[in-house]
Structure 1
Amino acid sequence: MPSVYDFTAATITGEKLSLGTFKGQVLLIVNTASACGFTPQYESLQALHQQFAPRGFAVLGFPCNQFGRQEPGDSRDIAAFCSQRYAVSFPLFAKIDVNGAKAHPLYAYLTNEQPGFLGLKAIKWNFTKFIVDRYGKAIARYGSMTKPEALAKKIESLL
């Protein structure tokens, strides 16, 4: 049975990284955007990352430009924005598609394992969140409206 750890993705600096690097950690995987009404969630994502990273947790950010073209920049622009505006220290990856024929295989897996409302697999907007347990299994999905801090108890229960 596949897990999140079976996938590889390009980092924001263009290096290929096996998600197996995060084996044994609880993960919060989020599709992000720099010019979205939900962009301030970066602050809460960073706070969760700082709070729980010492206990085996990581936020993984996947920029995506599929929703309202709200992530128009290149990797350098995205990295600078996240660093300067929100002091992001969690891993960021290269811009990907999360829906459609060109969807990153990780997101095809996540949406298959945790479909959204009414069983729909497609990601509806930026800042959709997936919680992955220590075994690499996607166990929960939350929409854009769910604030990252609302996930703290769930994350803590998995640590």
Structure 2
Amino acid sequence: MQYHRLNALMEMYGDLNFTVLGFSCNQFGLQSPEVNHETLNILKYVRPGGGFVPKFPVFGKVEVNGLNEDPLFTYLKESLPFVNPVVGDVKKLFWSPINVNDIRWNFEKFLITADGMPFKRYDLHCPIEKVEKDITELL
């Protein structure tokens, strides 16, 4: 469902100064064990499957939390911190150390302005309509 919503955002705003960037990560329940060259086939045939093709760039696998986190995600998390600690089943989180501003699960989203400034952070359960509203306001 999340992938289809990201494609829908590209359909709505892709002709404007907007794009979705997708990053695969295996730190949440080990749900993405594939290697980079397998990612597009996994999306097409498995998750979400049904012939899905992303309408946005999908980058190679990264770590978004822990000692080996990608500097982009360090910057985003420092710029847009959470006020509540990481919650959930720690047995399903595969990084160390766990920090208060860590990304909590797959499909957490960051909205960045056209000039590259982090604008807003959305957790997994944020209604897509809130994200759409903020995108519209920025555009």
Instruction: Name structure 1 gaps, 5 residues minimum.
Output: 1-39
Give the AA of the match of 1:155.
I
* Alignment match, 1:130: 110
Instruction: Name structure 2 gaps, 5 residues minimum.
Output: 86-99
Residue pair 1:64, 1:71 contacting (<8 A) in 2 also: yes
Larger Rg: 2
Residue pair 2:40, 2:53 contacting (<8 A) in 1 also: no
Matched, 1:70 2:31: yes
Please list the CA deviations of residues 45-79 of structure 1 after superposition, one character each: whole Å capped at 9, or x if unmatched: 11001210101110000100001001111112211
* Alignment match, 1:156: 136
Give the AA of the match of 2:2.
Q
> Of residues 37, 47, 65 in structure 1, which corresponds to 2:8?
47
Q: Give 1:141 shift.
A: 0.4
Counterpart CA distance in 2 for 1:142 and 1:117 is 13
Residue pair 2:63, 2:70 contacting (<8 A) in 1 also: yes
Give the AA of the match of 1:102.
N
Give the AA of the match of 1:110.
L
- What TM-score, normalized by structure 2, do the two folds share? 0.80
- What TM-score, normalized by structure 1, do the two folds share? 0.71
What is the total number of aligned residue pairs between the two structures?
A: 120
Q: Give 1:93 shift.
A: 0.5
Give the AA of the match of 1:133.
T
RMSD: 1.5
Residue pair 2:20, 2:57 contacting (<8 A) in 1 also: yes
CA gap of 1:94–1:44, structure 2 versus 1, over 3 A, is same
Q: How does 1:49-128 map to 2 (within 5 A)?
A: 49-84=10-45, 85=49, 86-118=52-84, 120-128=100-108
